Amino acid sequence: MLTRADLINEPARTAGDALSRMPGVFMDATVGPDGPSNIRLRGGDETFTKVMMDGVEVNFSGNVFEFEGITANNVDRIELVRGPQSALHGSSAMTGVVQLFNRGRPTGPAAMESHHEGGSAASHGDHGRGSFEVGGGSDVVRYSGSLGAMYDEGVFAVPHRCLPATPRPGSTSCPADP
Protein backbone atom coordinates (compact mmCIF):
# COMPACT_ATOMS: atom_id res chain seq x y z
CA MET A 1 0.00 0.00 0.00
CA LEU A 2 1.17 3.52 -0.79
CA THR A 3 -0.10 6.08 1.71
CA ARG A 4 -0.49 9.83 1.19
CA ALA A 5 2.92 10.41 2.84
CA ASP A 6 4.53 7.92 0.41
CA LEU A 7 2.97 9.71 -2.57
CA ILE A 8 4.22 13.10 -1.34
CA ASN A 9 7.77 11.81 -0.80
CA GLU A 10 7.83 9.78 -4.03
CA PRO A 11 9.08 11.75 -7.04
CA ALA A 12 6.20 10.47 -9.19
CA ARG A 13 4.25 12.64 -11.62
CA THR A 14 1.24 10.36 -11.82
CA ALA A 15 -0.39 7.59 -9.82
CA GLY A 16 0.82 5.19 -12.52
CA ASP A 17 4.44 6.22 -11.95
CA ALA A 18 4.13 5.55 -8.21
CA LEU A 19 2.39 2.23 -8.81
CA SER A 20 5.00 1.06 -11.32
CA ARG A 21 7.70 1.25 -8.61
CA MET A 22 5.95 -1.30 -6.40
CA PRO A 23 7.28 -4.89 -6.39
CA GLY A 24 5.57 -7.27 -8.81
CA VAL A 25 4.02 -4.49 -10.93
CA PHE A 26 4.80 -3.92 -14.61
CA MET A 27 3.31 -0.93 -16.42
CA ASP A 28 3.34 -1.05 -20.21
CA ALA A 29 2.71 2.33 -21.88
CA THR A 30 0.96 1.30 -25.10
CA VAL A 31 1.62 4.51 -27.05
CA GLY A 32 4.53 5.97 -25.10
CA PRO A 33 4.64 8.25 -22.07
CA ASP A 34 1.38 9.84 -20.93
CA GLY A 35 -0.72 7.38 -22.96
CA PRO A 36 -3.01 4.54 -21.89
CA SER A 37 -1.18 1.94 -19.82
CA ASN A 38 -1.54 -1.78 -19.37
CA ILE A 39 -0.85 -3.02 -15.86
CA ARG A 40 0.45 -6.51 -15.24
CA LEU A 41 0.72 -7.99 -11.76
CA ARG A 42 3.03 -10.91 -11.06
CA GLY A 43 3.63 -11.51 -14.78
CA GLY A 44 -0.04 -12.07 -15.63
CA ASP A 45 -1.93 -10.61 -18.54
CA GLU A 46 -3.49 -7.14 -18.16
CA THR A 47 -6.99 -8.56 -18.69
CA PHE A 48 -6.67 -10.35 -15.34
CA THR A 49 -5.87 -7.25 -13.24
CA LYS A 50 -8.83 -5.32 -11.88
CA VAL A 51 -8.45 -1.56 -11.33
CA MET A 52 -10.88 0.21 -9.01
CA MET A 53 -11.27 3.81 -7.91
CA ASP A 54 -13.05 4.44 -4.63
CA GLY A 55 -14.59 0.95 -4.87
CA VAL A 56 -15.86 1.30 -8.46
CA GLU A 57 -14.40 -0.80 -11.29
CA VAL A 58 -12.78 1.43 -13.92
CA ASN A 59 -11.19 -1.06 -16.32
CA PHE A 60 -14.18 -3.17 -17.25
CA SER A 61 -13.17 -6.74 -18.20
CA GLY A 62 -9.48 -5.89 -17.91
CA ASN A 63 -9.39 -3.17 -20.58
CA VAL A 64 -6.67 -0.52 -20.77
CA PHE A 65 -6.92 2.16 -18.10
CA GLU A 66 -5.26 5.60 -18.34
CA PHE A 67 -3.21 5.82 -15.15
CA GLU A 68 -1.27 8.69 -16.73
CA GLY A 69 -4.31 10.97 -16.47
CA ILE A 70 -4.41 10.69 -12.67
CA THR A 71 -1.94 13.00 -10.97
CA ALA A 72 -0.46 11.76 -7.71
CA ASN A 73 -1.51 14.90 -5.80
CA ASN A 74 -5.26 14.08 -5.80
CA VAL A 75 -4.82 10.45 -4.65
CA ASP A 76 -4.99 9.65 -0.93
CA ARG A 77 -3.67 6.10 -1.12
CA ILE A 78 -3.12 3.20 -3.50
CA GLU A 79 -3.84 -0.33 -2.36
CA LEU A 80 -2.43 -3.30 -4.24
CA VAL A 81 -3.55 -6.88 -3.58
CA ARG A 82 -1.40 -9.44 -5.40
CA GLY A 83 -2.68 -12.90 -6.20
CA PRO A 84 -6.03 -14.39 -7.19
CA GLN A 85 -8.98 -12.28 -6.06
CA SER A 86 -11.56 -13.67 -8.49
CA ALA A 87 -13.75 -15.08 -5.69
CA LEU A 88 -14.41 -11.49 -4.51
CA HIS A 89 -14.05 -9.45 -7.71
CA GLY A 90 -14.78 -11.77 -10.64
CA SER A 91 -12.63 -13.28 -13.37
CA SER A 92 -10.85 -10.01 -14.24
CA ALA A 93 -9.04 -10.13 -10.86
CA MET A 94 -7.03 -13.34 -11.28
CA THR A 95 -3.61 -11.69 -10.85
CA GLY A 96 -4.69 -9.02 -8.38
CA VAL A 97 -6.56 -5.82 -7.67
CA VAL A 98 -5.36 -2.21 -7.70
CA GLN A 99 -7.53 0.29 -5.86
CA LEU A 100 -7.00 4.06 -5.86
CA PHE A 101 -8.66 6.23 -3.23
CA ASN A 102 -9.22 9.94 -3.92
CA ARG A 103 -8.33 12.52 -1.33
CA GLY A 104 -11.30 13.49 0.79
CA ARG A 105 -11.72 17.22 1.23
CA PRO A 106 -12.79 18.75 4.52
CA THR A 107 -16.21 20.29 4.87
CA GLY A 108 -16.54 24.06 4.97
CA PRO A 109 -15.71 26.89 2.62
CA ALA A 110 -13.54 26.31 -0.42
CA ALA A 111 -9.96 25.33 0.44
CA MET A 112 -7.38 25.89 -2.28
CA GLU A 113 -3.89 24.47 -2.85
CA SER A 114 -1.32 25.24 -5.48
CA HIS A 115 1.85 23.27 -6.29
CA HIS A 116 4.61 24.27 -8.72
CA GLU A 117 8.01 22.85 -9.56
CA GLY A 118 10.54 23.05 -12.34
CA GLY A 119 14.13 22.47 -13.15
CA SER A 120 16.78 21.58 -15.62
CA ALA A 121 19.15 18.60 -15.44
CA ALA A 122 21.08 19.62 -18.56
CA SER A 123 20.72 21.99 -21.47
CA HIS A 124 18.16 19.60 -22.98
CA GLY A 125 16.45 18.47 -19.76
CA ASP A 126 13.93 21.17 -18.88
CA HIS A 127 10.80 20.14 -17.07
CA GLY A 128 7.97 21.73 -15.15
CA ARG A 129 4.81 20.76 -13.35
CA GLY A 130 2.04 22.68 -11.68
CA SER A 131 -1.37 22.04 -10.22
CA PHE A 132 -4.24 23.92 -8.63
CA GLU A 133 -6.78 22.18 -6.40
CA VAL A 134 -9.98 23.33 -4.75
CA GLY A 135 -12.42 21.49 -2.51
CA GLY A 136 -14.99 21.95 0.21
CA GLY A 137 -18.69 21.47 0.87
CA SER A 138 -21.10 20.52 3.60
CA ASP A 139 -22.04 17.31 5.40
CA VAL A 140 -24.49 16.55 2.58
CA VAL A 141 -22.49 17.52 -0.52
CA ARG A 142 -18.74 17.75 -1.04
CA TYR A 143 -16.81 18.85 -4.10
CA SER A 144 -13.25 18.56 -5.24
CA GLY A 145 -11.45 19.61 -8.42
CA SER A 146 -7.91 19.65 -9.66
CA LEU A 147 -6.24 21.17 -12.69
CA GLY A 148 -2.66 20.38 -13.60
CA ALA A 149 -0.11 20.59 -16.38
CA MET A 150 3.24 18.92 -17.03
CA TYR A 151 6.06 19.73 -19.42
CA ASP A 152 9.11 17.57 -20.08
CA GLU A 153 11.63 18.29 -22.79
CA GLY A 154 13.73 15.18 -22.14
CA VAL A 155 17.26 14.63 -20.93
CA PHE A 156 19.12 13.54 -24.06
CA ALA A 157 20.97 15.85 -26.44
CA VAL A 158 18.36 15.37 -29.15
CA PRO A 159 16.90 18.40 -30.92
CA HIS A 160 13.27 18.39 -29.82
CA ARG A 161 12.22 21.37 -31.92
CA CYS A 162 12.82 19.81 -35.35
CA LEU A 163 10.22 20.85 -37.90
CA PRO A 164 9.59 19.33 -41.33
CA ALA A 165 11.38 21.44 -43.95
CA THR A 166 9.46 20.00 -46.89
CA PRO A 167 6.63 17.52 -47.25
CA ARG A 168 9.16 14.78 -48.09
CA PRO A 169 9.47 12.07 -45.43
CA GLY A 170 12.70 12.09 -43.47
CA SER A 171 13.72 15.70 -44.17
CA THR A 172 13.80 18.08 -41.22
CA SER A 173 14.95 21.55 -40.41
CA CYS A 174 16.41 21.89 -36.92
CA PRO A 175 17.54 25.14 -35.28
CA ALA A 176 21.25 25.30 -34.55
CA ASP A 177 22.27 24.62 -30.96
CA PRO A 178 23.47 27.75 -29.14
pLDDT digits 0-9 by tens, 83-109:
788 778 877 788 888 898 887 767 788
Q: Each residue of 100-148: pLDDT tens digit?
A: 888 776 778 888 888 777 777 655 567 777 778 888 888 888 887 777 7
Does the global pTM surpass 0.75? Answer: no
**Domain total in the chain:** 2
We report the CATH number of the domain holding residue 56 as: 2.170.130.10
Are 152 and 91 in the same domain?
Answer: no
Are 65 and 116 in the same domain?
Answer: no
Please give the sequence-ordered ranges of beta strands (E in DSSP) within 45-152, or none if there are none. 49-53, 56-57, 75-82, 96-102, 108-120, 126-137, 142-152
Domain boundary among 71, 102, 133: 102
CA 153 to chain centre: 18
- Counting DSSP H helices and E strands in the chain, the numbers are 3, 11
- Among residues 81, 79, 85, 90, the alpha carbon closest in space to that of 2 is found at 79
The mean of the pLDDT values for the chain is 75
Residue 15 bridge partners (DSSP): none
Are 97 and 110 in the same domain?
Answer: no
Q: Each residue of 146-177: pLDDT tens digit?
A: 777 777 665 555 555 554 444 445 544 555 55
Are 159 and 78 in the same domain?
Answer: no
pLDDT at 158: 52
Whether residue 48 has pLDDT greater than 50: yes
Domain extent for 11: 4-102
Answer whether 22's CB lies under 8 Å from 81's CB: no
* CA–CA dist 134, 146 (Å, integer): 6
Average pLDDT over residues 4-16: 77
Are 79 and 9 in the same domain?
Answer: yes
